[in-house]
Amino acid sequence: GNSVTQMEGPVTLSEEAFLTINCTYTATGYPSLFWYVQYPGEGLQLLLKATKADDKGSNKGFEATYRKETTSFHLEKGSVQVSDSAVYFCALSGMDSNYQLIWGAGTKLIIKP
């Protein structure tokens, strides 16, 4: 069945550091891929998405590229800020899961000033 694997956290970085959060998936066909972010005390919100292979999603300085050959959708940001501290969830949606979202466990990101 479908599954999503994210790197375990917490990930702790200094402000202005480069960020990568790894996400790999298992699915048949061509699922859509998502990154959601959850700030402290809030619900999740969509950060970016990609719906076909080689698509790049981007938002708020974050980027992720849909790599079918490596079944990956790694999240990157060139220079993180304290305000980026949050929990980041990778997810996929596809035919196998009846179009329900399959979620990774989440990666907590802590940015120190």
List of residues contacting another protein (CB under 8 A)? 4, 31-32, 36, 41-46, 49, 51, 89, 93-95, 99-101, 103-106
Whose Cβ is closer to another protein: residue 7's or residue 103's? 103
| Local structure of 97: helix, strand or coil | helix
Closer residue to another protein (CB): 21 or 104: 104
What strands, in cross-sheet order, belong to the sheet with 62-65? 19-21, 75-77, 62-65, 56-59
Nearest-approach distance from CB 111 to another protein, in angstroms? 21
C-beta closer to another protein: residue 19 or 23:
23
Least separation in angstroms between residue 46's CB and another protein is: 5
Do 3 and 13 contact (CB within 8 A), yes or no? Answer: no
Closest separation in Å from C-beta 42 to another protein: 6
Residue 83 DSSP SS3: helix
* DSSP-assigned beta bridge partners for residue 64: 57, 75
